[in-house]
Structure 1
Amino acid sequence: MAPPPGGRRPGGPTGPGGPQGGPGRPAVPPRKPGEERTTQLPPVNRPTQREPELITHREPDDEFLLAGAPIDDDDDDYYDDEPELTQEEERRLRKKKIWKRVRIGAFVAIALMFLGPVIAIAVAYPLVDWPKPEDVAATQNKTITLHYADGQEMTKITSPGENRTMLTYEEIPDNVKNAVLAAEDANFFENPGFDVKAIVRAVWIQATGGSSGGSGLTQQYIKKATGDEAPTISRKFTELVKAYKMSNESDHKTILTAYLNTVYFGRGANGFKAASQVYYKKDMKDLTPSEAALIAGMIQTPSWSEDTEYATKRWKFVLDQMRQKNWVDQAYVDAQQFPKPLSFAETQPKSLEGPRGLIVDQVQEALEAEQTGVSFEQAQKTGVTITTTIDPKMQTAAEEAVDEIMIKGAQPEALKTSLTAIDPTTGAVRAYWGGRDGRGSFDYAKGTLQEPGSSFKPFDLVAALQDGKGLGTIYDGRSPRTFPGVSTPIRNSGNDNSCGKECPVRTAMIKSLNTVFYDMVVNDVGVPKTVKAAHQAGIPEEVNIGNGPKKLLVGEDGGTPNGGIALGGDQAVVRPFDMASAYATFAARGVYRAPFFIVKITGPDGTVLYQHADKPISAFDPDQTKSQDIADNVTDVLKEIPGNSKIPCAGGRDCAGKTGTHELSESAGQGAGLNSKAWMVGYTPSISAAVWVGRNEGNQPIRDKSGANIFGSGVPGKIWQAFMNKALAGTQMEKFPKAKPLNQYNPPVKVSVPSSVPPSSPPPSVPQTSSSEPSKPSSTRPTRPTGCGQLICPPSDTPDPSTPPGPGNGNGRDPGDT
């Protein structure tokens, strides 16, 4: 066999010319490699050649020289210098390397995207468990305990479904099943417990800083049952794994049944069975598809159950989803009207009877609206203790005052009243009397809108003070007076002309002269500023009442109301509760604090879950000193009224306030000229109280037991006086601070007219109208209907198309301000 190429070299022992062995040849001495020089081995004095490096890691030749290695020109054959790369070639090489790394990273990311969740689910699956409906129900109906402000126990709130039993799938009507599926997961029976697309979309939105849902009905059950609704990816992941496990270990019917037995529907109702009672007082089998649709629509945001606008929107959505699934037909949908539920208070368990029952309703409504950050659902699950703002002494004083005047005084049963007392220093509601019949009865403090009459005039004064006017500014106080654009003259009570043509605002407030305040608001200050002043004091811009949200102090077109608002008539409608809050701002010297019922919420272990924090707002001016001066000037004149109205506070205690009445117009027939509402709103530095008296029918006269017309200083004034005396008995005799005079504080000094100047013509004689109380200041009498927000309080009279918008005659009476 021939040797491999390069296996022999000339002169070697086996190469040509070398010694030969074999037959006939002399023996060759053995080779001694150590004594021979060979070019195949490097010299002993030279370092071993390094392995070739990558092109991108080559080092310059001078770097090798610096290493101290000797140079051997004979070794050139062993070092092949490769050509250097150009800059363009190096750039392309670097770019290629970068893209290679990007591709590798992308492949790894895609692999993790698909394999990561699978691995995570596989790891988490055996570690989690889904909540069983029986366990969930056991935690949902704990008792809520209410305390008075001093720590005494008031009552307990129990759940509407406290002793409920778990329903089976067969016991649940199809109307209910269909409505809930339409509202929350119409494709529930077609998915494996979760909607992958919805979850991916929700995760992406949340990862990019947004907020989104994406839960199917199974996931919703997990969320509601665990009470964990944090908008985080980790919560979503855990929820998904539990939903997947629940779907594997049970069927769709079991899941839907668990959901309907435990989900929260608002109004304190866990489970659809309890919800059908608190919304319609019906068994589930008796619900119509339309009623079931409304209840199901509340699952999404149960705290908005009393918002009619929201409830209507959700009801329409659910009903339309049911139509799309052919669970109802188009003809049924077209024939439906909004299935208005029963009132919230009417359907709640009777935990406290009498007037104090309405306090329980207010506390529960505050929880439902999540004003405290603790929902009613959470409160039920936890079994919390709630400390209210109600002072037991003042609450008793309110109940005794009403009973003393209305019951012992034998006033007609047709008369209705309310009393609210608020602490100006905190905004805490200290006493609340909204009706005698307790929970389920109509609330006359927060459930009705009424014309405040002349008790609205302090807001006129605030606007005037802000506009540079003062208590000494002069207006024409004669009566009657005509104003451009108003067909009906404005009159004072009994056409009172005692203040004359140059009437100071202070005197006009004490006498409650309509002509002065109408002139001030319509011709001088402006209606918008008056509306703003009322809102600044504490009249809300919008309240949720009757059929839904209603804006206050706006015109029929939603814009600026007409001039009748200056006299507390026409579009000037307010809740009695809010008048107590607004006058509390005067008592607090221009600081507004929102009224509230809940001081503190604690868990079973004493942990404080909520604590009310004081949030004072400078009401009438950003500068608190200016706001204080405005409020003090208002108090400076209002403190003269209780005494002039013959309802002063006992012992000479400082107190201020304003009476008001709303008079029926001529269209009321035999009731024309009589009052339909009467008020007394007043305060001391430590308490503000509002009393309203009227009837369920807003267009009927109010008469006392003797048949006489009721004024503000009458029945409501006496209730207010009795309450203030009882509530403040034994407390410090507080005084109002002296007011810093603003603007024209005193009327200008009259200058005598020289005899050479002819006297001005006397004002034309005005025929006087008869009145049962001619000396009483005036109230308001609108010529157009005003909304009360309730069926029990319709407009006072029918509008006359021929009468242009105006203040509405304005010749009612304000009781006892003289």
Structure 2
Amino acid sequence: MGRAEERRARQRGARRAETPGGMGRSESPGGMGRSESPGGRRRSESPGGRRRAEAPGGGRRRFPWKKLMGAFLAVCALGMAAFIGLYIYIDVPTTANADAGKQSNIYRYSNGKVFARDGEVNRELVPISKVPKGVQHAFVAAENKTFYTDAGVDLKGTLRGLISTAMGRKQGGSTITQQYVKNFYLTQDQTLTRKAKEMIIALKVDQQRSKDYILSGYMNTSYYGRGAHGVQAAARAYYDVDSKDLTTEQGAYLAALLQAPSQYDWSSATDTSKRLVKQRWNYVLDNMVEMKWLGPAERRDMKFPEPEDPKPTPGLSGQAGYLVKAANDELIASGVDEAELGARGWDITLAISESKQKRLERAVKETLNAKLDPDKRKVDGHVQAGAVSVDPKTGDVVALYGGRDATRHYLSNATRRDYQPASTFKPIVFASALQNGSKTQDGVPITASTVYDGTSERPVRGSVTPFAPPNEDDKDYGQITVQKAMNASVNSVFAQMVVDVGLDRTKQTALNLGMSKKAGGFEERPAMSLGVMGASPLDMASVYATFDNHGKKVTPRLVKSAERGDQKVKPRDAIGDAVITRQSADAVTSVLTGVVDEGTGAIVQSTGRRVAGKTGTSDDNKSAWFAGYTPELVTTVGLFGEGEGGRQVSLSGAAGGGRVNGGGFPAQIWAAYTKAALQGQRVTDFELDTEQGAAVAPTPSPSPSDSGASTGPSAPGSGQPTAPSGSGLPPSPSGSEQLPTQPPMPPDGTGPTVEPGPRTSRGTDGGAGSDAGTAG
């Protein structure tokens, strides 16, 4: 045997010796090899004689951990190589981005004419030395507690941001350094490329610049809302002080504000938003205590510093400021980032018609403002007017009046929701009755001809909450049809009707038609029928435009287009699906023509057009309304009594007259504007699909009844018609278009009826909003 054979033999023997009992690794007890079973069958074979798969060398196949680990390390190596390459390739820009410079937003009428420029950017750069240390720490505590010790990048936060960006979502987590780099050097674009650049530049900036330099840049480039860019502008906008005079409490609010400037602006925040911003404010201060930048005792003594009311941006005087604010709010609500909008550079075209806008402004000026003299009468200085005009076919807001001047009265009267819409809500109650097929307490279907008991202060039947509202001047109407009750705005009828329909159903109908869930006081109680919740002229324009559009939901739209470089914003849809049937909507329109023909809105007959509308005068005469429409145009006008500090006060005595009713100044403004806005256009009829209401047939006088709430209805459409179907005016004997004769208007301009004296509300359910009678 040669040496090689001897060596191999020794090796085989050594391997056999390694197994217990001296058996070879291929043997089992009894002399069988490992590949054999007791029956002599090889272990690698199945009972059917098939061999089981074996890994090379006779063993079972194992999971390839080594290969996976190798692949993982290779990917890591490639990632590191890519990062090193990007780090070498990407330099810190030598100049700021365009957004960090001075820009303006341009606002145009629908015809393309520019009516406002919002800029230059309201920013004043201040050195870090002019920001108190406590305020500096508040910003760090709010956004990036490790700012003074980190390398400028939060790897975990950046990774989350990259993943979210790749999935099409927005995600925070950036350090102060990264946010400064984004604000000053890059853009707000949510892309992987921008996020990668942000991280690399942040690392380099952190190496090249001091922490104070970076923090100063961050505070000076951030957007705080109210058009304020930078901490100095924010200090002025919210507390009317220079940045050097900010307290730690105020600084903590400004730091908290950066998370959602519009939502957290105290002047316009909802109750929920106020709660959230206070939580954020407390979070900032608690973090300062944790970081030992603030003592616990000092922290306990701190109170939330409510900001001052906002001041208008210079240069946006008159109606321009109201239009710009409303357009910005609509863009933000549609998804445009507020910081992007605040960075300027946008070209925004509104649906506002230049000619209609000027006519609306003129109507308010000549019909109302010219008659007010605050030097003679204190109440005249409390009168605030708001109006919105909408095209019901497109949903476009073609004119908007927010107040005398946006630089003198910041809050827009066109969009405020703090006043009651009063009896302009009553058509919603009737619409809900029709839509839900509701019946009276006696089981009679509710239609325009249904008879109710119009006795003043009659307690409603079927209500858990007692309610017995008075009519205007406590006038008793006895048995009265729904049509005539709408004409005269009889409170007792609609208080009973809302219970017959159901409070929850009525509220849902109101929301479906366009009233806002954000409105205050929208409680399910019988007083709802009198319009005691809050609503804006814009809200009520949505409701009445939906009636005019045969039940298809109209959500008024102000912005037609908005562009910024290659970025374009698609305008929101203004016309939606039907929220009530055409028959229900058209029946409401038909009934509302009666309010104009012979009711509280008769003054608007002067337009010479087919008109449907409703007046409203709230409790204590704090608001007065007229909401009306033609087939072509829907307009709502509201007057609001606003005293010092925003306190709601009575309008009574304004312009030297008595009570200000919806059929007075609001209806006069409506008529003057509508006549001018539609001048030269053909007079058209409402195209109605209904057999009830004043536009179809007269409502016969009811016979006496002993029923407490209502009696059976007269047959819809019964009697000799006084107007063809689809007409909002009674026909002339010859068939030509002639206006009905009306009594001469009294000198005070309150309409063809006698001005009633003051009335008091005595409902047991907070009977605000009662305003029936000929002045309702």
TM range (shorter): 0.7 to 0.9
The equivalent of 2:471 in structure 1 is 492
The equivalent of 1:288 in structure 2 is 247
TM-score by length of 2: 0.77
Q: For the structure 1 residues 496 and 352, does the alpha-carbon distance in structure 2 shift closer, same or farther, using more than 3 Å as the test? A: same
The equivalent of 2:423 in structure 1 is 454
Out of 637, 658, 670, the position equivalent to 2:591 is 637
The equivalent of 2:582 in structure 1 is 628
* Structure 1 counterpart SS, 2:415: coil
Would you say 1:609 and 2:568 are equivalent positions? Answer: yes
User: Given that residues 422 and 769 in structure 2 are in contact (C-alpha distance below 8 angstroms), is that contact kept between their aligned partners in structure 1?
Assistant: no
* Structure 2 counterpart SS, 1:691: strand
How many residue pairs were aligned? 665
Structure 1 residue 208 displacement after superposition: 8.9
Q: For the structure 1 residues 663 and 739, does the alpha-carbon distance in structure 2 shift closer, same or farther, using more than 3 Å as the test? A: same
The equivalent of 1:686 in structure 2 is 632
The equivalent of 1:103 in structure 2 is 65
Would you say 1:153 and 2:153 are equivalent positions? Answer: no
The 10-residue stretch of structure 1 (271-280 or 122-131) with the greater mean CA deviation from structure 2: 271-280
Alignment of 1:528-607 (within 5 A): 528-542=504-518, 551-552=519-520, 554-555=522-523, 561-569=524-532, 572-603=533-564
Deviations 1:570-626 (A, max 9, x none): xx221233112211111222122222321112346xx571242534223433xxxxx
* Structure 1 counterpart SS, 2:139: helix
The equivalent of 1:465 in structure 2 is 434
Would you say 1:315 and 2:281 are equivalent positions? Answer: yes
Deviations 1:772-809 (A, max 9, x none): 9997899996569xxxxxxxxxxxxxxxxxxxx52528
Structure 1 residue 728 displacement after superposition: 1.6
Q: Structure 2: which amino acid aligns with 1:727?
A: A
Deviations 1:487-519 (A, max 9, x none): 664332244444x33x22112111211121111
Structure 1 residue 276 displacement after superposition: 2.0
* Structure 2 counterpart SS, 1:135: coil
Deviations 1:316-348 (A, max 9, x none): 22122122223233333333333232344x1x4
Q: Structure 2: which amino acid aligns with 1:109?
A: A
Q: Structure 2: which amino acid aligns with 1:653?
A: R
Deviations 1:345-369 (A, max 9, x none): x1x42223223322222223334x2
CA distance in 1, matches of 2:90, 2:586: 64
User: Given that residues 422 and 530 in structure 2 are in contact (C-alpha distance below 8 angstroms), is that contact kept between their aligned partners in structure 1?
Assistant: yes
Q: Structure 2: which amino acid aligns with 1:354?
A: G
CA distance in 1, matches of 2:421, 2:471: 17
CA distance in 2, matches of 1:252, 1:244: 12
**Runs (5+) with no aligned partner, structure 2:** 6-40, 374-379, 438-445, 710-750
Structure 1 residue 749 displacement after superposition: 8.4
Structure 1 residue 294 displacement after superposition: 1.3
User: Given that residues 603 and 752 in structure 2 are in contact (C-alpha distance below 8 angstroms), is that contact kept between their aligned partners in structure 1?
Assistant: no
The equivalent of 2:346 in structure 1 is 384
The equivalent of 1:64 in structure 2 is none
Structure 1 residue 446 displacement after superposition: 1.9
User: Given that residues 319 and 401 in structure 2 are in contact (C-alpha distance below 8 angstroms), is that contact kept between their aligned partners in structure 1?
Assistant: yes
Q: For the structure 1 residues 719 and 597, does the alpha-carbon distance in structure 2 shift closer, same or farther, using more than 3 Å as the test? A: same
Q: For the structure 1 residues 505 and 730, does the alpha-carbon distance in structure 2 shift closer, same or farther, using more than 3 Å as the test? A: same
Q: Structure 2: which amino acid aligns with 1:517?
A: F
Out of 212, 234, 248, the position equivalent to 1:275 is 234
CA distance in 2, matches of 1:148, 1:681: 25
User: Given that residues 100 and 221 in structure 2 are in contact (C-alpha distance below 8 angstroms), is that contact kept between their aligned partners in structure 1?
Assistant: no
Q: For the structure 1 residues 663 and 381, does the alpha-carbon distance in structure 2 shift closer, same or farther, using more than 3 Å as the test? A: closer
Q: For the structure 1 residues 526 and 242, does the alpha-carbon distance in structure 2 shift closer, same or farther, using more than 3 Å as the test? A: same
User: Given that residues 588 and 693 in structure 2 are in contact (C-alpha distance below 8 angstroms), is that contact kept between their aligned partners in structure 1?
Assistant: no
Deviations 1:226-248 (A, max 9, x none): 55556666654443222222223
Alignment of 1:727-766 (within 5 A): 727-741=677-691
CA distance in 1, matches of 2:54, 2:190: 47
* Structure 1 counterpart SS, 2:618: strand
Deviations 1:529-551 (A, max 9, x none): 11112111111111xxxxxxxx4
Deviations 1:285-329 (A, max 9, x none): 111111111111222333434334343332222122122223233
Would you say 1:115 and 2:115 are equivalent positions? Answer: no
* Structure 1 counterpart SS, 2:448: coil
Structure 1 residue 148 displacement after superposition: 0.8
CA distance in 1, matches of 2:364, 2:164: 57
Q: For the structure 1 residues 729 and 247, does the alpha-carbon distance in structure 2 shift closer, same or farther, using more than 3 Å as the test? A: same
Q: For the structure 1 residues 630 and 380, does the alpha-carbon distance in structure 2 shift closer, same or farther, using more than 3 Å as the test? A: same
The equivalent of 1:354 in structure 2 is 318
Structure 1 residue 486 displacement after superposition: 6.2
CA distance in 2, matches of 1:718, 1:366: 30
User: Given that residues 104 and 346 in structure 2 are in contact (C-alpha distance below 8 angstroms), is that contact kept between their aligned partners in structure 1?
Assistant: yes
Structure 1 residue 706 displacement after superposition: 3.3
The equivalent of 1:656 in structure 2 is 612
* Structure 2 counterpart SS, 1:680: strand
User: Given that residues 121 and 344 in structure 2 are in contact (C-alpha distance below 8 angstroms), is that contact kept between their aligned partners in structure 1?
Assistant: no
Q: For the structure 1 residues 585 and 750, does the alpha-carbon distance in structure 2 shift closer, same or farther, using more than 3 Å as the test? A: closer
The equivalent of 1:667 in structure 2 is none
Alignment of 1:232-271 (within 5 A): 235-271=194-230
Q: For the structure 1 residues 519 and 190, does the alpha-carbon distance in structure 2 shift closer, same or farther, using more than 3 Å as the test? A: same
Deviations 1:1-43 (A, max 9, x none): xx9999xxxxxxxxxxxxxxxxxxxxxxxxxxxxxxxxxxxxx
The equivalent of 1:419 in structure 2 is 387
The equivalent of 1:481 in structure 2 is 458
User: Given that residues 318 and 407 in structure 2 are in contact (C-alpha distance below 8 angstroms), is that contact kept between their aligned partners in structure 1?
Assistant: yes
CA distance in 2, matches of 1:729, 1:761: 49
Q: For the structure 1 residues 221 and 706, does the alpha-carbon distance in structure 2 shift closer, same or farther, using more than 3 Å as the test? A: closer
CA distance in 1, matches of 2:752, 2:167: 71
User: Given that residues 206 and 232 in structure 1 are in contact (C-alpha distance below 8 angstroms), is that contact kept between their aligned partners in structure 2?
Assistant: yes
Q: For the structure 1 residues 553 and 563, does the alpha-carbon distance in structure 2 shift closer, same or farther, using more than 3 Å as the test? A: same
* Structure 1 counterpart SS, 2:639: strand
**Runs (5+) with no aligned partner, structure 1:** 7-82, 543-550, 556-560, 622-626, 665-674, 754-758, 764-771, 785-804
The equivalent of 2:669 in structure 1 is 719
Q: Structure 2: which amino acid aligns with 1:331?
A: A
* Structure 1 counterpart SS, 2:416: coil
Q: For the structure 1 residues 200 and 429, does the alpha-carbon distance in structure 2 shift closer, same or farther, using more than 3 Å as the test? A: closer
CA distance in 2, matches of 1:497, 1:698: 30
Task: Please tell me whether Structure 1 or Structure 2 has the larger radius of gyration of its CA atoms.
Answer: 1
Structure 1 residue 209 displacement after superposition: 9.2
CA distance in 1, matches of 2:230, 2:770: 56
Q: Structure 1: which amino acid aligns with 2:285?
A: L
User: Given that residues 460 and 530 in structure 1 are in contact (C-alpha distance below 8 angstroms), is that contact kept between their aligned partners in structure 2?
Assistant: yes
Q: Structure 1: which amino acid aligns with 2:83?
A: I
The equivalent of 1:510 in structure 2 is 487
State the identity %. 28
